[in-house]
């Protein structure tokens, strides 16, 4: 799978661990950094890069990591067609894909441990949208919200 990954200074160095894990599992990684935890930067920049990589079909899914995961998810969800899930547990990790067809996983490096983060990543990456009618109906309503937005 082609996976775009971006993290601000608050998400570093968890992004390095996630990249190592996914690379070892054979995924194609599109790495937007950061690789410098000591220089403050801005999570919306990473959300834009990861989101656009999906919009431009350079990546199938994305992973965004900031301190809490909140800022990254807020920013990513501003992009058309991006459904970003902030997850702190494995159930949400797979259900966000199975039911909500989320295409970006957001993690908070300052609030979850490395092992849990990696389990959530595995759950998210392995899960697939079930395509059930009730989930499609709900996703269509989200598309309508996007279309009608003022
Ligand atoms: C950076 O200090 C921090 O605000 C950012 O990584 C993120 O947690 C925002 O939601």
Q: Which atom of ligand 1 is nearest to the CA of 66?
A: 6
Distance from Cα 6 to the centre of ligand 1, integer Å: 13
Distance from Cα 75 to the centre of ligand 1, integer Å: 12
Residue (of 57, 68, 70) closest to 108 by Cα position: 68
Q: Does the domain at residues 2-148 carry the CATH identifier 2.60.40.3500?
A: no
The pLDDT tens digits along the chain (150 residues) read: 999 999 999 999 999 999 999 999 999 999 999 999 999 999 999 999 999 999 999 999 999 999 999 999 999 999 999 999 999 999 999 999 999 999 999 999 999 999 999 999 999 999 999 999 999 999 999 999 999 988
Tell me the catalytic residues: 66, 99
Q: d(Cα 120, Cα 91) in Å, to the nearest integer?
A: 8
Domain boundaries of the chain, sorted by first residue: 2-148
Distance from Cα 76 to the centre of ligand 1, integer Å: 14
Distance from Cα 57 to the centre of ligand 1, integer Å: 27
Q: What does the angle CA 28 – CA 126 – CA 124 come to, to the nearest 5 degrees? A: 90
Residue ranges lining ligand 1, Cβ < 6 Å: 8, 10, 43, 66-68, 70-71
- What are the tens digits of pLDDT across the range 3-34? 999 999 999 999 999 999 999 999 999 999 99
| Ligand 1 pocket mutation, candidates 8, 13, 78, 112, criterion most atoms within 8 A of CB | 8
Q: Which residue has its alpha carbon closest to ligand 1 atom 4?
A: 67
- Tell me phi and psi for residue 133, to 5 degrees: -55, -45
Q: d(Cα 50, Cα 48) in Å, to the nearest integer?
A: 6
SS (H, E, C) the chain: CEEEEEECCCCCCHHHHHHHHHHHCCCEEEECCCCCCCCCCCHHHHHHHHHHHHHCCCCCEEEEEECCCHHHHHHHCCCCCCCEEECCCHHHHHHHHHCCCCCEEEEECCCCCHHHHHHHHHHHHHCCCCCCHHHHHHHHHHHHHHHHCC
Confidence (pLDDT) at 61: 98
């Amino acid at each position: 799978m082609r996976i775009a990954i971006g993290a601000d200074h608050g998400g570093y160095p968890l992004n390095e661990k996630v990249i190592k894990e996914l690379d070892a599992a054979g995924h194609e990684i599109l790495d937007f950094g950061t690789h410098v935890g000591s220089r403050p930067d801005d999570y919306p920049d990473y959300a834009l890069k990861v989101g656009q990589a999906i919009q431009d079909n350079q990546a199938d899914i994305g992973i965004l990591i900031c301190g809490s995961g909140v800022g990254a998810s807020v920013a990513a969800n501003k992009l058309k067609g991006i459904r970003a899930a902030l997850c702190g547990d494995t159930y949400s990790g797979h259900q966000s894909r199975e039911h909500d067809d989320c295409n970006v996983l957001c993690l908070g490096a300052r609030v979850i441990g490395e092992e849990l983060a990696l389990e959530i990543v595995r759950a998210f990456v392995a899960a697939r949208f079930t395509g059930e009618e009730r989930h499609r109906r709900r996703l269509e309503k989200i598309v309508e919200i996007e279309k009608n937005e003022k």
